[in-house]
A = this chain, B = another copy of it.
Amino acid sequence: MPNMDQDNNTPVQHRTDAFRPRNSWQTWLIGRPLQTADAPYETIGKLVGLAVFASDALSSTAYATQEILFILAAAGAGAFAYAFPISIVIVGLLAIVTLSYEQIIHAYPGGGGAYIVARDNLGELPAQVAGASLLTDYILTVAVSISSGVAQVTSAFPALYEYRVEIAVGLVLFMMLVNLRGVRESGAVFAIPSYFFLLVMSLTVLVGMFRYVMGSLGQVAGPPPIETLHTGQAISLFLILHAFSSGTTALTGVEAISNGITAFREPRSRNAGITLIWMSSILAVLFLGITFLSGQISAVPSEMETVISQLARTVFGGRNVIYLAIIAGTMVILVMAANTSYAGFPRLSALLGQDGFLPRQLAYRGSRLVYSRGIVALALVACVLIIVFQASVTGLIPLYAIGVFLSFTLSQAGMARRWWKTGRLATGQAIEERGSVLRYERGWPTKMIINGFGALCTTLVTLVFAVTKFRDGAWVVLILIPVLVVGFSAIHRHYRRLAGRLSLDQFAEPPRISRHRVILPISSVHQGTLAALRYAVALSDDVTAVHVCLEPGDAPKIQQKWEMWGKGVRLVILDSPYRLMIEPLLRYIEEIAAKRQPNEIITIVVPQFVPKRRWHNLLHAQTATWLRLALLFKPGIVVTDVPYQVE
């Protein structure tokens, strides 16, 4: 603490007897307030980190296979054979992206999301595009994951199908509360169910493979009717690419760890990197296993029963206890995937807020040291999406993943550029550029090639995605991202301009105020008016009371009363035959303001009636409030409310 002096006469007094918030309904709901100094302890280890951040990536196994089948179904059930080869290509892409992100995590131990990497290495516009893409996708992660989680439940209990929207919205709001409590607690809440999903899903794949090898796997009993987005197509390159695009949703969430490195316990980069490798390996195995087995049992795409449900009941011989455990585990991992966004979205919007691309308030931490505003905003927008799309995963999927791949591309292109720059340095040399340290590293060309190849692959995927899914809904995102970027720029311009206007760099102080004119509008002469008059007289010797006269007969009455109570202060009566109250007053004030000198200020002292109950405001004309609003935009006029409370 710089200055602990408690003496009243020193120019600066620093008081550290801090205000401690009282308990309220919020304390009960989200926990006791935390001090800023408590912040560093709210970090997590690898095992909890996997539970918190990997769930997004792993949970996509619950719908990626199904969404590939939804597209292939356009060419009939025979086309389902293409699903497994497609998923092998996707796993190859996953390996490339994982390698790229592993490098990013080590280069950016302070948290290296696509936004930061693009900002540091590519510039402002790519950074804004990355930010817009990620924000969009965080929201869609919540909407898609929760919708898919609810779809698992309604596969097991079809009677709940008609309540799917209500259940989904309820879950989103529940996640909001958990996250408003803070990240460690939510990690603890979700670690057990996360590993439970890993257990049951691994079991499904293992038992399924065992039964396949033994030849006893069989087919889905009583499959639901096949559904598809488009019908009657032939197998074509476009269709295969389209199915591939849908399958790439399996990769969503791989970037989550790189955005949230600061949530990890030290050594951050190492812990985060190891967690990333674990995560991708598990993802690859599960995704391949589920897709392979789905093909073997002839699972079909349907909104009424998920592929996971069909697989589980075929492998374990019906809707038994193990089946229910798998459904429950899948549902819970999907809810946790939404939780990943609750960690990432507020962090990113706080970053954008600090950089002046979003409102600054997003960078303020709430009572539990989390970015509460971001958490609430995410929950509300996700609820709107769920309601609009009636919690349909297939409806939401075309909007999803395009943002993720755009941000993959930008971050990897940024990293490639970065390696190129470090290659120009001498061995052991380090320079600082835009807040991050560039250091020569051996093997930089390999690293550049890895990131560059990653960028190339994800660029291709982004293009394929945009083209094949344009009509299904991707156009919404392709419009939304530029709109967001324009918004960021407008906000940024405002903050920059304001900073210039407020800067003291070349500030010449105006002359000291030597004349102070006070204008006191009065509607009649009563105790409230006199309280304001008492105050006005204390401010200055130059006070003018102004009365707007609506009824010609009232002028003598007010004049008489003023002569008795007005302390000799000048009274101006303005006739208002058109029965307007504010406008004549404004004209009068403007006339006086026009004749003002630079060392002269004008204060309008407004008697402000404060009622005992809020509804009493409806019984008063609120002239004071309207006058304040009208004068707020006039430079150099100060408005003072002198409240008079009615007990």
Contact = CB atoms under 8 A, between A and B. Distances in A.
A579 interface: yes
B632 A610 contact: yes
Contacts of A611: 494
A575 B619 contact: no
Contacts of A43: none
A93 B367 CA distance: 72
B11 A570 contact: yes
Contact of A578 (B20, B360, B530, B639): B20
A533 to B, nearest CB: 10
Contacts of A620: 359-361
Contacts of A525: 504
Q: How large is the interface on A (under 10, 10 to 19, 20 to 34, 35 or more residues)?
A: 35 or more
A573 B14 contact: yes
Contact of A555 (B1, B35, B526, B559): B1
Main secondary structure of the interface of A (DSSP, over half): mixed
A8 B572 CA distance: 9
B555 A14 contact: yes
B555 A494 contact: no
A21 to B, nearest CB: 5
Given A513-B534, A552-B37, A21 B578 contact: yes
A494 B13 contact: no
Interface in A593-647: 601, 603, 608, 610-611, 616, 618-621, 628, 632-633, 635, 637-643, 645-647
Given A36-B579, A527-B504, A639 B638 contact: no
Contacts of A498: 646
A434 interface: no
When all copies of this chain in the complex are counted, the total is 2
A229 interface: no
A13 B571 contact: yes
Contact of A365 (B555, B579, B635): B579
Contacts of A513: 534-535, 537-538
A361 B575 contact: no
Given A526-B503, A575-B18, A494 B559 contact: no
Contacts of A509: 530, 534
A469 to B, nearest CB: 33
Nearest to A641: B639
A550 interface: yes
Interface in A494-510: 494-495, 497-498, 501-504, 507, 509-510
A645 B635 contact: yes
A580 interface: yes
A538 B514 CA distance: 8
Contacts of A26: none
A471 interface: no
> Most chain-B Cβ atoms within 10 A of its Cβ — which of A15, A491, A635?
A15
A3 interface: yes
A512 interface: yes
A566 interface: yes
A537 B514 CA distance: 11
A185 interface: no
Nearest to A497: B646
Contact of A641 (B35, B361, B587, B638): B638
Contacts of A621: 360-361, 364
A2 interface: yes
A580 B21 contact: yes
Contact of A573 (B13, B530, B571, B637): B13
A556 interface: yes
B503 A3 contact: no
A271 to B, nearest CB: 26
A563 interface: yes
Contacts of A36: 550-552, 577-579
Interface in A318-372: 359-361, 364-367
Contact of A502 (B527, B552, B632): B527
A12 B33 CA distance: 58
Contacts of A569: 11
Contacts of A8: 570
A423 interface: no
A495 B619 contact: yes
A576 interface: yes
Given A527-B501, A619-B494, A575 B638 contact: no
Contact of A19 (B20, B584, B628): B584
B364 A579 contact: yes
A507 B527 contact: yes
Contacts of A367: 578-579
B583 A21 contact: yes
A642 B638 contact: yes
Given A21-B583, A37-B552, 4 more contacts: A3-B559, A12-B570, A36-B550, A509-B530
Q: 5 closest Cβ contacts across the A-B interface?
A: A502-B526, A513-B538, A35-B577, A19-B584, A640-B640
9 contacts: A11-B570, A18-B577, A33-B578, A360-B619, A364-B579, A367-B579, A510-B534, A628-B641, A632-B641
